Chain A
Amino acid sequence: MNKSESPIISVKGVTKRFGSFTALQDISLDIRPGEIFALLGPSGCGKSTLLRIIAGLETATEGSVAIDGQDMTGIPANKRPVNMVFQSYAVFPHMSVADNVAYGLKLERRPAAEIREKVAEALAQVHLSDFAHRKPDQLSGGQRQRVALARALVKRPKVLLLDEPLSALDAKLRDAMRLELVKLQESVGVSFVIVTHDQSEALAMADRIAVLKDGVLRQLDSPAALYKRPVDRFVADFIGSINMFAVSGQRAEGGQARLETAELGAIAVPSDHLPAAGQGALTLAVRPERVKVGAEAPKEAQGEGGLVSVVGRLGDVAFQGNSSIVEVLLEGGGSLSALVSEAEADHLMQAESGSPITAWWALDDMLILPENATAA
């Protein structure tokens, strides 16, 4: 990806209010040419509203959207160089597959021969050439989605907008379609903006992800960065699974900060590990795959940062194929989970439930997160 290129979509300070309800709060972000960009968040976070504002189906209360450098304020949906794949696909039921795909071109009053050629090309792209004359009610959900894709792509949009593209498909088809969408994007080269509530979908497909909550942009990063360096408690919790311990008290001691938690007791961390921005109580967090379990924590610290260890009792072991999740019941109440290999799990299975066990992890692997990094 060439980062010096100017953005294909530039969202500046977009706020959307419905009456007294604020759906979007001062959102600014850029979408680069040729990338898959995901808008991720729980339902009601405003991600779909943002997509609809980009498409022109909704108008922003404040702020502006520019597409390819052109301000789109006041330009209606039917005149914007972007196209959308709707959540319900919205394939017109009274038109054949070919007529659906041709509809947008007919509205542009293109010559019939050109329309025919482009429709055939678009249908081939989504592997529906044999279905051109079928009616939508004779198609499966997956096929209908392809029609919606072809119908949008045939207009050669500068950006393709997809609203929850996989939510209406069954689980098996969803995995196949993820891959296919990525391939399709590579072959057509235009940017895709995908709205989704499914973090695994976003992690698997997107080049960059914007995480939204309650209309506020919490973090915009690559999938790896979001996973490894979430900026706040919400993002850490929303992306992947994670063990979290609320910090109940905090004391500075020289170059270090002592953080009190109910489960882990007091933990000393270098002051520069503390988050620079944000508000609210701190939370300590560690991913299950970073947690080791055993009879006793090793004496030698692995990194420079040292280890955090905690003693507990063995809880359930949930088998997951090539790995297992081990539950450690902590003395101070609560529990944490650790992801262990098959061999380790076999070993642990021999131990009786409730027998003492120690969990530990490198201090560097532990995240110290504010409640909300964005709020002032």
Chain B
Amino acid sequence: MAREKREPAGPFDYSRKLSLRLVFFLGSIFLYAPIVVLVIFSFNNSRRGGNVIWKGFTTKYYEKAFHNDALMEAFINSLAIAFISTLIAVILGALTAVVLWRFRFPLKPVFEGMVSLPIVIPEICMGVSLAVFFSSFGLYVPRDMPFPLNLTNIIIAHITFSFPFAAMVIRTRLNSFNREMEEAAKDLGATEFQVFRDILLPHMKPGLVAGALLAFTLSLDDFVITFFTSGPNTVTFPIKVYSMVRFSVTPEINAASTILILITLLVTFLAMRFQSFEEPRQ
């Protein structure tokens, strides 16, 4: 290590130029400072305007957040939506990926474009169109539907925007599949279905997991589309936080946000673990 450090920087070792490193460093500070401040102030013992002056350490706002029934309900709604929509999004994504990877068919580029459209169009357009769609088709689920059926609209919306992402991830994984594996299995006596179950599906697995984790975070993350498809009784965590922020800024929001950040970190960590598991095998 020490010897490597003494090596003079080559002409294109941009990573070793002080000025460029400084940009990277300042950029990272810019990206992280607000979040770090938010986490720190979630422990601030101050009643109002909790984000201004430090008044000592406390965890009472975490307790408060946990005892805030509306917030907890929103949180559970968000998790339920994320789980259900992820499950269906991964199935639809896998089907899409297999179709695009395996078959030649007329108007295939059109279908490809159709699938990638939800990824690229502005969220607000999708949110607005789904809101209009649900209301004008009378598809608003009755308010008294039992949990989690009352969340159907939001779940449908989340599946719609997340399955193309899952399809993209799974298709990338499929591209590394060696078609000779399939032929070898057939040669050994496997039927189409057996090839799919025994050979293709195990190969797809890391893609399915990565796609699921992506769909899950996208669902937990979404505000705009949920904002348009949720009703007054179906509040998700981001929607709840939004209304709290509009009402007043309290340390409780900081606490709740910190919890969600931790969950996101955990999911990201899992995703990374899965990727580093798979890479050496390639």
Binding site for B on A (CB under 8 A): 55-57, 76-79, 83-84, 86-88, 90, 92-94, 103-104, 107-108, 137, 148, 151-152, 155
Chain B residue with minimal CB distance to A80? B187
Query: What 4 A-B pairs have minimum CB-CB distances, sorted nearest first?
Result: A104-B188, A90-B184, A90-B180, A107-B189
With the chains together, A83 CA to B189 CA distance in Å?
9
Q: Which residue of A lies closest to B281 (CB)?
A: A137
B199 to A57, Cβ gap below 8 A? no
**Identity of the chain A residue whose Cβ is nearest the Cβ of B182 in the assembled complex:** A90
Q: Are A79 and B187 in contact (CB under 8 A)?
A: no
Collect the chain A residues with CB atoms within 8 Å of residue B64's CB.
Answer: none
- Cα distance, A107 to B188, chains bound together (Å): 8
Q: At the interface, is chain B mostly helix, strand, loop or mixed?
A: helix
Q: Are B191 and A78 in contact (CB under 8 A)?
A: yes
Q: Do residues B180 and A155 form an inter-chain contact, with CB atoms below 8 A?
A: no
Point out the residues of chain A lying under 8 angstroms from B178, CB to CB.
Answer: 88, 90
Contact partners of A84 in chain B: CB under 8 A:
183-184, 187
Task: Tell which of A56, A86, A108 touches B184, judged by Cβ atoms closer than 8 Å.
Answer: A86
Closest to A107 in B: B189
Contacts of A155 in B (CB 8 A): 188-189
**What are 10 residue pairs bridging A and B, where the CB atoms are less than 8 Å apart in the complex?**
A78-B186, A78-B187, A78-B188, A79-B189, A83-B188, A93-B203, A104-B188, A107-B188, A107-B194, A151-B188
- Closest residue on chain A to residue B199 by CB atoms: A92
B188 touching A103, Cβ below 8 Å: yes
**B202 on the A face (CB < 8 A):** yes
Complex Cα–Cα for A103 and B194 (A): 11
B196 CB to nearest A CB, Å: 13
Let me know if B183 and A107 touch, CB within 8 A: no
> Distance (Å) between the CB of A138 and the closest chain B CB?
11
B198 contacts A by Cβ under 8 Å? yes
| Chain B residues numbered 119-173 whose CB sits less than 8 Å from any CB in chain A | none
Q: Give the distance to chain A from B25, nearest Cβ to Cβ, in Å.
A: 39
Task: Compute how far the CA of A115 lies from the CA of B199 in the bound complex, rounded to whole angstroms.
Answer: 20
Count, chain B residues at interface, CB 8 A: 19
Query: B252-282 vs A: 1/0 string, CB under 8 Å?
Result: 0000000000000000000000000000110
C-alpha gap A86/B188 in the complex (Å):
12
Q: Which of B79-99 contact A (CB under 8 A)?
A: none
Q: Looking at the complex, which one of B180, B189, B281 makes contact with A104 (CB distance below 8 Å)?
A: B189
| Chain A residue contacts of B186, Cβ below 8 A | 57, 76-78
Chain A residues near B184 (CB, 8 Å)?
84, 86, 90, 92, 148, 151
How far does the alpha carbon of A345 sit from the alpha carbon of B194 in the complex, in Å?
64
Q: How far is the CB of B197 from chain A (nearest CB, A)?
A: 11
Q: How far is the CA of A88 from the CA of B183 in the complex (A)?
A: 11
Instruction: Report the Cα distance A107→B194, complex, angstroms.
Output: 9
Residues in A neighbouring B198, C-beta threshold 8 A: 92, 103
Residues of A contacting B281 with CB < 8 Å?
93, 137
A83 touches B187 (CB 8 A): yes
Which of A77, A86, A103 contacts B180 (CB under 8 A)? Answer: A86
Alpha-carbon distance between A56 and B189 when the two chains are bound, in angstroms:
11
B187: A residues at CB distance < 8 A: 55-57, 77-78, 83-84, 152
Q: Tell me which residues across on chain A come within 8 A of B189, comparing CB atoms.
A: 78-79, 104, 107-108, 155
Residue B181 is within 8 A (CB to CB) of chain A in the complex? yes
Task: Tell me which residues across on chain B come within 8 A of A79, comparing CB atoms.
Answer: 189
Q: Does B40 contact A (CB under 8 A)?
A: no
B190 close to chain A: CB less than 8 A: yes
Q: Mark B93-129, 1 if CB is under 8 A from A, else 0.
A: 0000000000000000000000000000000000000
